[in-house]
Chain A
């Protein structure tokens, strides 16, 4: 019997190929394709008066130049509004190439195709665009003020508006014994995967079909969108996703303007065309996230128990809404975390600005929500003079209250019902891991040495694995090898490994006999995509269900051949045999042969499946009714609702009293994503998430100037951390199974990033003794806060005052 793979820290199957550089990413394909480049707007807001391409035409090697005028039919229409939520007031989406106006720096205006990239860039440089510059709208304040509007025909910049309410929050707050109000800000950041976007298309004239390679998180989504734009039947569009060098959300957006232009041009030119994004393009023309402002009003009792919570959110969605407004919807709902808010009211306005669009970035609105809630918890604790963990504790949902209905609708339009989780235990574990109880003494000791250290804590709940569905196809070949396909795509999460683990267990085969394909519409056309931590939950469940079908059939076919009862058979080590009699059986490959009744024998193995090989039951057809030839199965997982993972992070930071440099001393994570398929992979996902969380808290922000120019559009100026910035991370797992899927798993991809800003703000605040209300925070931001604090513009934390009082008492100074 082979060892169980589920739960084992199995080394990834993807490894060797990627390590030796034999991975095939988008730009590694299509060596003979023409190169495309895009001429992009240098202005945040302008009318395009004229595009003059004359000069470009003499560049040797130029193939074609296209502008909006060349586009007809659906290609000339705006790109689709992917998630048409009813809260959208006026949903504007971009055109593939600017149709008269540009609304952000980087908007594509013209496309150049040439023999190679160097020549295409040469030609693009010679295209003269005449712009009439219009007033930019940059930042939430300008968007709210609406002195200028981003889109003609609108009277303000409100793209969407939604109010959700459970109970009467405002009345509950008014009646509460204690109240407070906080303004909390998070700035823009972005995914910036190491591999940018990229598209490569080939048109097959004879077959009238398109093969499209895209560095995307959704093959099926791109397929449907491109087919619609090009007026092709989806059956004539194949989308294949090669290795993808990271996504983190930005590659779930589709179709990008470039993603429809490239195949359109390939078809028109009858030649392969490829576009790979350069780094600056990724900064100015892909997507950002995170920029959001929150006003929180809370009413609470003497223990710090929330009685009412009223949150107003202003969300900067950039120039268009092609992806809809998922981010503020997620914030609105996931802000609640593991807590019972009492009555809850949340309202958001999503605003157009003349900056690049916003689409989900790992965490997708949760980091902002958790920041808002956890800052509130800290503020409540400080107000009441209670321990921060204690205040959280009294607000937690208890395990015996599961499933817990928050009374709202989640981002998938389904009820926000937490399926399982042990939040009090999570909190206890993280306190232990970081050394919460002994920290006050540690802080005092450091202080005595002239050092400032602080501890922070943050909890979160993360809805993962939303539907509608994902599919799995499992096929056993006559060679005994198992081929598995699922439609969602992989960007480094190790999907191939965990799916192989799951199927190996279900079918009783060795993992090395399982091959997994993701994101290839030829193998699995029905799919949704990779986002919201849904790989293991959705595709894991789907391939498990499909493998169970295959197992059932294998037992049936083998039982027939072995003249045994299927109930007496088992599969192990790739062989079906009578339980307890390993000798009496046959290889799965042979079962696969037998499962496909043949007229013709073409090799030794296939003889066994011909009609002459065995005496047949003449009363039954060779393929039984309701059955199909072949040892394969397809199934889909479509859950009732999302499953909710949870966790808590704690951190100890040190802030330099002079330079305000912020250093992380310890970072601890307790994480519950249900049953772990592969702890090694989950930990890798957590490491990566924490790295991005730390980055978002301390380093990364998008610096737009008032004209809408992004000033830090490079890896030189946008500070993605290196190995030198990311601290060692201690992780402890809890495994509370989900009842919503056959594996009991929950998603793990995004968790690490979610509480980053919240937990680090909490610790810096603790070290400094004054509140931190906006993130990210750089040394110069902290330095600025210290000055304002010294000038009396920022009130001290009450606990810092009390501590000072204690110290003062000890030295005989008066209490404050």
Chain B
């Protein structure tokens, strides 16, 4: 079965006919040639496919493209503005927050979405009372970034990079 949808990806509009089984990740990668989100598991377990869907971080492999009709998708490619890296991306460069880079587009999208969540006062499972205003210390960063695997184990520097990005975005 096929459906006609419209996706807005990194500011550009794409009318598209998709097999209804197509995930957002596959639609982006295979149909639109937007390969910045990566596939690490296709089961929502690694975060390599993280993109921002209408501003919220999601796993592209867990969402069907048909369910995103009319939505705004931002990938790592679309984060920066005017040829400048997004502050989170710049922080990853400054603090050597990655090695092979495969998890990285997902990590940066996740970090961007996460910083928004903190700004909006969303609680996490890091152990603080839910009613408290979140304070983004290292334990919070680690917990809130714990949907994104990095097998290169660049975590130490990812945490530093996110901490630095938080400072900048203040």
Contacts and interface: CB of A to CB of B under 8 A. Distances in A.
A724 B100 contact: no
Interface string A665-705: 00000000000000011001101111110000000000000
A728 interface: yes
A31 B41 CA distance: 20
A714 interface: yes
B19 A118 contact: yes
Nearest to B158: A723
B152 A688 contact: yes
A720 B155 CA distance: 12
The majority secondary structure among interface residues of chain A is loop
A698 to B, nearest CB: 14
A244 interface: yes
Contacts of B45: 279, 714-716
A192 interface: yes
Interface in B46-81: 46, 48, 75-77, 79-80
Interface in B79-130: 79-80, 85, 89, 92-94, 96, 98-105, 108
Most buried by B among A31, A491, A690, A715: A715
B15 interface: no
A422 interface: no
Contact of B48 (A116, A194, A278): A194
Given A27-B39, A492-B100, A687 B85 contact: no
A248 B19 CA distance: 36
A192 to B, nearest CB: 6
Most buried by B among A25, A246, A681: A246
A78 interface: no
Interface stretch (A16-24, A139-147, A505-513, A560-568): A16-24
A723 B155 contact: yes
Interface string A273-285: 0001011000000
Nearest to B97: A19
A420 interface: no
Contact of A193 (B22, B35, B100, B158): B100
Contacts of B38: 25, 27, 194-195, 245
A726 B150 CA distance: 11
Contacts of B147: 722
A31 B31 CA distance: 9
Contacts of B36: 20-22
B157 A20 contact: no
A278 B41 CA distance: 7
Contact of A687 (B42, B103, B153): B153
Interface in B138-170: 138, 141-143, 145-159
A271 interface: no
Contact of B98 (A18, A193, A685, A714): A18
Nearest to B159: A723
B43 interface: yes
A194 B99 contact: no
Contacts of A244: 100
A687 B160 CA distance: 13
Given A16-B85, A246-B100, A279-B41, A715 B149 contact: yes
Most buried by B among A27, A244, A492: A492
Contacts of B17: none
A426 to B, nearest CB: 22
A31 B85 CA distance: 27
B13 to A, nearest CB: 20
Contacts of B19: 118
Given A11-B93, A15-B93, A726 B153 contact: yes
A248 B142 CA distance: 24
Interface in A717-748: 720-724, 726, 728-729
B157 A715 contact: no
Contacts of B29: 27-28
B134 interface: no
Contacts of B98: 15, 18-19, 492
Contact of B100 (A28, A245, A680): A245
B4 interface: no
A720 B41 CA distance: 12
B33 A31 contact: yes
Given A21-B37, A248-B151, A723-B155, A279 B43 contact: yes
A688 B89 CA distance: 20
Contacts, number: 179
Nearest to B162: A723
A420 to B, nearest CB: 28
A14 interface: yes
A520 to B, nearest CB: 18
A687 B156 contact: yes
B14 to A, nearest CB: 15
Interface string A537-571: 00000000000000000000000000000000000
A108 B49 CA distance: 27
A716 B76 contact: no
Nearest to A191: B151
Given A20-B36, A724-B143, A194 B103 contact: yes
A19 B105 CA distance: 6
A195 B35 CA distance: 13
Contacts of A715: 40-41, 43, 45-46, 149
Interface in A1-50: 11-12, 14-16, 18-25, 27-28, 31
A690 B154 CA distance: 10
B151 A246 contact: yes
Contacts of A493: 99
A120 to B, nearest CB: 13
Contact of A194 (B76, B85, B151): B151
Most buried by A among B33, B43, B100, B143: B100
A735 to B, nearest CB: 20
Given A722-B145, A724-B142, A726-B153, A684 B99 contact: yes
A689 B104 CA distance: 18
Contacts of B145: 722-724
Most buried by A among B21, B101, B156, B157: B101
A279 B41 CA distance: 5
A665 to B, nearest CB: 14
A363 interface: no
B159 A116 contact: no
Given A11-B96, A16-B93, A21-B37, A726 B156 contact: yes
A177 B80 CA distance: 70
Contacts of A12: 96
A94 interface: no
A19 B103 contact: no
Contact of A21 (B40, B100, B105, B148): B105
A19 B75 contact: no
Contacts of B43: 279, 714-716
A246 B89 contact: no
B83 to A, nearest CB: 10
A750 interface: no
B80 A684 contact: no
A494 interface: yes
Contacts of B93: 11, 15-16, 19
A687 B35 contact: no
Contact of B75 (A21, A491, A689, A729): A21
A278 B36 CA distance: 18
A632 interface: no
Contacts of B76: 19-21
23 contacts: A11-B96, A18-B101, A20-B89, A22-B36, A27-B35, A31-B33, A194-B102, A195-B38, A243-B102, A246-B99, A492-B102, A493-B99, A689-B153, A692-B153, A715-B40, A715-B43, A716-B45, A722-B145, A722-B147, A722-B148, A723-B145, A723-B146, A723-B158
> Which 3 pairs show the lowest CB-CB distances between chains A and B?
A21-B36, A691-B153, A492-B100
Given A19-B76, A492-B102, A714-B45, 9 more contacts: A15-B93, A21-B37, A21-B76, A22-B36, A193-B100, A194-B152, A244-B100, A692-B151, A723-B141
